[in-house]
Structure 1
Amino acid sequence: MTLHIPFQARYAALPDRFHARLAPTPVAKPGLVKVNHGLARELGLDPAMLETPDGLALLAGNTVPDSATPVAQAYAGHQFGGWNPALGDGRAILLGELTDQTGHLRDVQLKGSGPTPFSRMGDGRAGLGPVLREYILSEAMHALGVPTTRALAAVTTGEIVLRETPLPGAVLTRIAASHLRVGTFQYFAARGDTEALQTLVAFAIARHDPQAEGALGLLTGVIARQARLIARWMSLGFIHGVMNTDNMTISGETIDYGPCAFMEAYDPKTVYSSIDQFGRYAYANQPEIAVWNLAQLATSLLPVIDANRDRAVEVATEAVQGFADAYEAAWLQEFRAKLGLATADDTDGPLITGFLKLMAEAGVDFTLAFRALGEDLSVARELWPNPEVFDAWADQWSTRLAAENATPQSARTALKAANPAFIPRNHRVEEAIQHAMSGDYSVFERLVAVLETPFADQPQNEDLMAPAQPHEAVQATFCGT
């Protein structure tokens, strides 16, 4: 193989109980779907090189560079509140880490790369649909300013995977600040392996919190990042759909784009995930679930926070309780920006919640309602079945803007910079996937291109702004496993 990729093996250098060493399982006939040129350059890679036969072989897992030390990572997790002590990478292989152009380490992982010791009788493969879905959603989230794992490439395998129906197989190359999860710490805590916990804490601090003092400092950093992340999700109407502890990262990045979705008509109780039968991960529940997950992390860290368990419980509890204030501050900051407000005022909370309440009562599209605030107010009024209700709220909003010596018109630039015109609407994602299944990637390519600049006016693509018509609506989203 002629490719030289300067992989490092930081995680692979950890003791054997942290991972299983194995190479990806080669596929029959790899085919290139897409290479993310911008991300490749961020990683110091030549995108044209990745599109060569040698590059394709790497992205499919058919060849492994000499510099790579491929491993499947071990972790545990609570899934819908139920404990599973041994999950791990059942269909993913970490090739190693790269130092990007800003000097940060980034994981390079192949997802759908074949079975591992953690596969639990699964085939370790991924279908084309879930791979394209993760590509679209993760790159859209990045463009929307959300911390997230990213997609470097998608390739087909020339093989069929069996789910409810036979599907074309594919592999996603996923890039992350790291793949450390709450569940990684749970894995060793459940085994009483304090030595491994100490090693993992040191590794995580070096990777994500160099200034942190010990396990408590790490926990505090994770809490702060998750507060900001969840507030950002909420400001965009994003519903993760499967906030299990193995899907909460230490880095504060969004990970796992299986049953996630962007809400259209605003309803705090919205659930899309086909497996979330009781609404555990509904839109409005996401902050509460984040606290629950962080409590599991705190519990896992108790043995390395303080030798005195009572003292460890006290300080860890205090840290987790700090999420509420951090989240509220981040939520207010996000939604103030969505209303074009540059300063803080005690009336902002009621102003924001009042607008959301009206949206819920009228069933107005979340994204369009906020985006329309950056247009002439006559445009915004047209979204409301009862415009007089909107008018009454808009009067309050205008008064609040006036206190900042602003008007809806003068705040227009700020409003458009805070409120996207384009999100990956569920029916558009499904449309792109269905066309790709028949070999037509043009719909996928167009959607990805439009979502690269979600805050820009794109008159030629206004059809992608519209909510689903009743016959287009996607009622449920699914895991890709």
Structure 2
Amino acid sequence: MRLAFDPSYARLPERFFARQDPTPGAAPAPVVVNRALAARLGIDAVWLESAEGTAVLAGNLVPEGAEPIAQAYAGHQFGGFVPQLGDGRAILLGEIVTPDEARFDLVLKGAGRTPWSRGGDGRAWLGPVLREYLVSETMAALGVPTTRALGAVLTGSPVYREGFVRPGAVIARVAASHIRVGTFEYFAARGDEDALATLCDYTLSRHYPEAEGPLGLLAAAVAAQAKLVAQWMSFGFIHGVMNTDNCALSGETIDYGPCAFLDAYHPQTKFSAIDSYGRYAYANQPQIALWNLAQLASCLLPLIGPGPAAVEQAQAVLDGFTPAYQAEWLFRMGRKIGLARATPEDRPLIEALLSRMATEGADFTRSFRGLATGRARAEFADPAAFDSWEPLWQARLAREVVPQAVLAAANPVRIPRNHRIEEMITAAVAGDFAPFHRLLAALAHPFDPEEDFAAFEAAPTAEERVTRTFCGT
């Protein structure tokens, strides 16, 4: 089968990337193919599941029309600037143009070393591959902008992590693009204004054709990130590694390394084992998004114009982030308590519930879903905390037309619980993929109550609770 590649990024100047073929695996074997996404891309899923399709997903066969590259970028990692990062274990085969002329990157993550592997093996092991597959597909089902997973394969080549031999794997990731804040930082750090101008024009053309110039790009990125992070917050999602090289200009969620969803709600919750000081804790995510956008603005200053006027113009655009985020947060959190269109006067009601949830250790997902089922009260260690809030809520709800429908549409029944993910990975490493497929099926329609998947609604017991997650590199 011939894939509809049109690798426009590979036609940019050579300093934007390194040409790099994937490293073949010893014995590729299929794990999962995303049939629905394959259809969206105009790819025959039956072929993708065949030996030839598996070889493409594993990096053993470069399909016709592909121009494999590793992209160059820099990044602020936990606040510290690293001038050269780049794709260390991801290879962009090219962009696929769909039958309706949409354009998507197709990347193989875990397909071997590149010039930016920095001493690593460029490989991925099965656990992080299945985590990214499952969580990114759940995010798509929740309606959150995200990269997608087209397929996952075993490579047949072992990888070594923390003294253990792990089964090697590759995930085929699909994205609107892989242009990051860190991509702009790479050229800004080198004083390469020609490359910055080229990258700015390319990004505008690809993602925001209605915007103009560097300020237009910055404004579009501000709007996209404000909306994205508000959606994360509404579902209790913690990215875990919001470095600038993981901030996509497309406004998609990218990089599902140490990510996690809240169980018991507390605003300072973090899971990432590498986030020692909680820089990327749940409540910090909005201001970190703004911080990342400020780094983008700094990169764009030479294109905006000379002197203090450029700084003032960029700052004026950045100043739009907080009101945009607050408006989106209010809309989404209002819907979570049944309000079709919350107003600023409703904010104290929402915040009062969150405060009580934090104090009483209430489960984030179950509490909000429980508002629709009448079971929210049971999630509070002291139900009196809910009882003192409920009359105020009911009085406000009385002014709504279809609050039950709004509640059901805004609050998932199931999320990718950390303990379920760990159980699934443990089984898969032992060769049993049934838990992965069952969890994937349970999360395909996260808002729909389904008796067959009722077990996945439960919060973890004290013994099951997972408090640390890892990036897998």
TM-score, normalised with respect to structure 2 = 0.98
Name the structure 1 match of 2:206: 207
The SS at the match of 2:10 is coil
Residues 303, 309 of structure 1: 8 Å contact kept: no
2:380 is aligned, of 381, 384, 395, to 384
Alignment of 1:256-405 (within 5 A): 256-306=255-305, 308-375=306-373, 377=374, 379-404=375-400
The SS at the match of 2:264 is coil
Name the structure 1 match of 2:245: 246
> Percent identical across equivalent pairs?
57
Give the deviation of 1:163 after TM superposition.
Answer: 1.1
Name the structure 1 match of 2:461: 469
Between the aligned partners of 1:386 and 1:53, the Cα distance in structure 2 is: 57
Name the structure 1 match of 2:418: 426
Name the structure 2 match of 1:127: 125
Stretches of structure 1 that go unaligned for 5 or more consecutive residues are none
Between the aligned partners of 1:454 and 1:83, the Cα distance in structure 2 is: 38
2:441 is aligned, of 436, 445, 449, to 449
Q: Is 2:3 the partner of 1:5?
A: yes
Task: Select between 336-345 and 250-259 the one with higher mean Cα deviation.
Answer: 336-345
Name the structure 1 match of 2:149: 151
Name the structure 2 match of 1:416: 408
The SS at the match of 1:191 is coil
Give the deviation of 1:347 after TM superposition.
Answer: 2.2
Name the structure 2 match of 1:230: 229
| Deviations 1:117-165 (CA, angstroms, capped at 9, x unpaired) | 0111110000000100100110011001110001000000111101102
The residue type equivalent to 1:388 in the other structure is A
The SS at the match of 1:12 is helix
Residues 18, 70 of structure 2: 8 Å contact kept: yes
| Deviations 1:40-99 (CA, angstroms, capped at 9, x unpaired) | 000000100101111111000001112000100000000001110000001011001112
Between the aligned partners of 2:309 and 2:195, the Cα distance in structure 1 is: 21
Between the aligned partners of 2:61 and 2:341, the Cα distance in structure 1 is: 54
Give the deviation of 1:394 after TM superposition.
Answer: 1.2
The SS at the match of 1:228 is helix
Between the aligned partners of 1:40 and 1:197, the Cα distance in structure 2 is: 34
2:59 is aligned, of 55, 58, 61, to 61
The residue type equivalent to 1:258 in the other structure is G
Stretches of structure 2 that go unaligned for 5 or more consecutive residues are none
Number of residues of Structure 1 aligned to a counterpart in Structure 2: 472
Between the aligned partners of 1:420 and 1:273, the Cα distance in structure 2 is: 23
Name the structure 2 match of 1:79: 77
TM-score, normalised with respect to structure 1 = 0.97
Judged with a 3 Å threshold, the aligned counterparts in structure 2 of structure 1 residues 102 and 393 are, in CA distance, closer, same or farther, namely farther
The residue type equivalent to 1:381 in the other structure is R
Give the deviation of 1:391 after TM superposition.
Answer: 1.9
The residue type equivalent to 1:254 in the other structure is T
The SS at the match of 1:276 is coil
Between the aligned partners of 1:101 and 1:227, the Cα distance in structure 2 is: 31
Alignment of 1:88-167 (within 5 A): 88-164=86-162, 165-167=164-166
Residues 340, 406 of structure 2: 8 Å contact kept: no
The SS at the match of 2:11 is coil
The SS at the match of 1:204 is helix
The residue type equivalent to 1:269 in the other structure is Q
Give the deviation of 1:101 after TM superposition.
Answer: 4.3
Between the aligned partners of 2:173 and 2:342, the Cα distance in structure 1 is: 38
Between the aligned partners of 1:357 and 1:347, the Cα distance in structure 2 is: 17
1:40 is aligned, of 38, 43, 54, to 38
Between the aligned partners of 1:343 and 1:448, the Cα distance in structure 2 is: 32
Task: Select between 462-471 and 33-42 the one with higher mean Cα deviation.
Answer: 462-471
The residue type equivalent to 1:115 in the other structure is R
The SS at the match of 2:200 is helix
